[in-house]
């Protein structure tokens, strides 16, 4: 009887702990995002003419947003944020991100962009299970990269798998007749 009682207590502890992990993670993400939002404000592009650079990014917790603002400021680039309502901060967004991490489809806004005036397009994404997040895959699927140099960048203490880089490169190249991409996938 005592073993059953202790077994139930241990089981209850494990269930409560497991339930608290997502709550703790989303709390930390929200706090972290607020802190990062104040850092490195975007100052705007240096020029609105042809031949410029654009930085398109999706950021759930703010890390990619910070890197994207920094890149855009340093290069004088036009900055575009992708909104993906399914992955916003909070428990539902976290659960959707975990579920869809290896997917290539997402509801994003804007879905399409006129990239014709840009020579170089930087695409920023967090790494989810060694792959770019679904919103960046969706952006590539819905846009053209004809004659563009495309550079993928990411943040986090993880890396993109070689397979993900190769698949991403194939997808970008399929969306461009004359695209060029540096060896190794662009970044």
User: Tokens 């952006």 label which residue?
Assistant: 139
Per-residue CA distances from 108 to 17, 59, 79, 84, 99 (Å): 33, 12, 16, 5, 17
> Which band of pLDDT confidence, cut at 50, 70 and 90, is reported for residue 185?
very low
User: What share of the chain in percent tops pLDDT 90?
Assistant: 41
User: Which pTM was predicted?
Assistant: 0.78
Domains, the chain, ranges and CATH? 52-185 (3.40.50.360)
Q: Is the pLDDT of residue 50 over 70?
A: no
Beta strands (DSSP E) in the chain are 52-57, 78-81, 118-128, 131-132, 149-155
Structure tokens at 176: 């461009």
pLDDT at residue 17 in the model: 83
> Which band of pLDDT confidence, cut at 50, 70 and 90, is reported for residue 46?
low
pLDDT at residue 36 in the model: 79
Burial of 143 (0-12, 13-18, 19+ CB in 10 A): buried
> Which band of pLDDT confidence, cut at 50, 70 and 90, is reported for residue 48?
low
**CB count in 10 Å sphere of residue 34:** 11
160-184 residues labelled b (16+ CB within 10 A) or e (exposed): beeebbebbbebbeebbeebebeee
Query: What is the mean predicted confidence (pLDDT) over 114-125?
Result: 95
> Which band of pLDDT confidence, cut at 50, 70 and 90, is reported for residue 86?
very high
């Amino acid at each position: 009887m005592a073993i059953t009682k202790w077994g139930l207590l241990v089981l209850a502890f494990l269930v409560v702990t497991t339930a608290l992990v997502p709550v703790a993670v989303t709390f930390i993400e929200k706090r972290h995002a607020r802190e990062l939002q104040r850092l490195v404000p975007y100052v705007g592009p240096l020029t609105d003419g042809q031949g410029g650079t654009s930085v398109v990014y999706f950021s759930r917790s703010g890390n990619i947003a910070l890197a994207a603002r920094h890149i855009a400021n340093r290069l004088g680039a036009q900055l575009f944020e992708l909104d993906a309502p399914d992955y916003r901060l909070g428990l539902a967004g976290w659960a959707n991100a975990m579920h869809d991490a290896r997917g290539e489809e997402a509801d994003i806004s804007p879905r399409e962009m006129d990239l014709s005036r840009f020579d170089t397009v930087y695409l920023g994404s967090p790494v989810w299970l060694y792959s770019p997040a679904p919103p960046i895959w969706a952006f590539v699927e819905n846009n053209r990269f004809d004659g563009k140099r495309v550079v993928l960048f990411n943040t986090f203490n993880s890396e993109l798998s070689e397979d993900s880089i190769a698949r991403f490169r194939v997808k970008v190249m399929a969306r461009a007749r004359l695209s060029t991409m540096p060896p190794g996938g662009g970044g």
